[in-house]
Amino acid sequence: MKLFSKEDLNKYHQSLTYDDISLVPTEISRIKSRKETDTSCEFLNEQLSLPIISSPMESVTGLEMANELANLGCLGILNRFDSSLRKILEDSSNGKEIKGVSIALNTPIDVVEKLAVQNYIICIDTANANNQEVLQKAEEIKKKFNVRIIVGNIAHGSTLMELEDAGVDAVRVGIGSGSVCTTSIQTGIGIGQVSSLLDVYFAREESNLKIKIIADGGIKSPGDIVKAIALGADAAMLGRMLAGTKETPGEVIKYDDQLWKKYRGSASFGVKMKNEFIEGEETMVPYKGAVKNVVDGISDGLKSSMSYMNCFNLNELREKDTFTILSDSSFIERLPKK
């Protein structure tokens, strides 16, 4: 069996997704128990217990989710689609635990100033960060307020230096890979998440940049988060994995003797509420209970993988360079059988 390094995977002749690869443990592990592993990290001057960020989607991150994730040692990016932004501007006590807020390109600068005064991380929430308006907005905000800035999204590392020069501190990587995103179908744009992450990672390494990489999209399980970190991501942004939990916006719906909650893409009709180009779907996901249960499951999976891979901390995990490419049959073989 051939073992692939990150460089090998980056040069592979096809675009790769998380389901196409697997980590391969090749060392005798020094770790007796997964409890010995440390999943904490520093991200944009925030100390996190897990490298997890919630997506600023209308059906994922409201005030309750952002506050609870902060309590759990993760980072919640408050969505910009409802009254959440107005609430924290009017009463800072509403968002006392919140660390990050998303804004639109057309958000007034006086609103950004109020957020900057409270030292929020500013996430410029767009579908395409390779855009002159995004660069200008980031540069304007950084020069005026010197706040921490996240932008998204990109699928390739060719413009990474321009983003850092504009003052961007972290970039969301992934176009068209979200479970309720139809961008690739509607526009023909996007590549597999593994290939996207590696291209951006090597662009950062080759130019010695400091910008942080956020793996955004295509993550279905704790194992995918492990792969994202091993591929060089500094953090993983989650939408569907957090959707359907108690803390997400919206009511619990009972249908066909099961409990559900809505989950929809940021460019779906349900969010836009206007007849314009739609690049997102709306669906229902099973109700999952408290988000703490999801976060605990992610923590357990990450720690267990680190024990297999002989990694005491996340930096050691990022240094691992032993992957394999799975055939369709190999992937199917690993799935639980009923």
Tell me which residues are annotated as active site: 181
SS (H, E, C) 22-61: EECCCCCCCCCCHHHCECCEEECCEEECCCEEECCCCCCC
What does the alpha-carbon distance between residue 288 and residue 108 come to, in Å, rounded to a whole number? 37
Phi and psi at 107, nearest 5°, equal -65, 130
Partners of 216 in the β-ladder? 237
The DSSP line for 123-157 is: EEE-S-SSSHHHHHHHHHHHHHH---EEEEEESSG
Give the C-alpha distances (Å, rounded to integers) separating 234 from 114, 161, 197, 203, 212.
28, 17, 11, 15, 6
> Is residue 232 left, alpha or beta, with left meaning phi > 0 and alpha meaning psi from -120 to 50?
left
In 229-238, which positions are buried (b, 16+ CB within 10 angstroms) versus exposed (e)? bbbbbbbbbb
SS (H, E, C) 252-270: CEEECCEEEEEEECCCCHH
299, 35 in Cβ contact below 8 A? no
What does the alpha-carbon distance between residue 176 and residue 53 come to, in Å, rounded to a whole number? 18
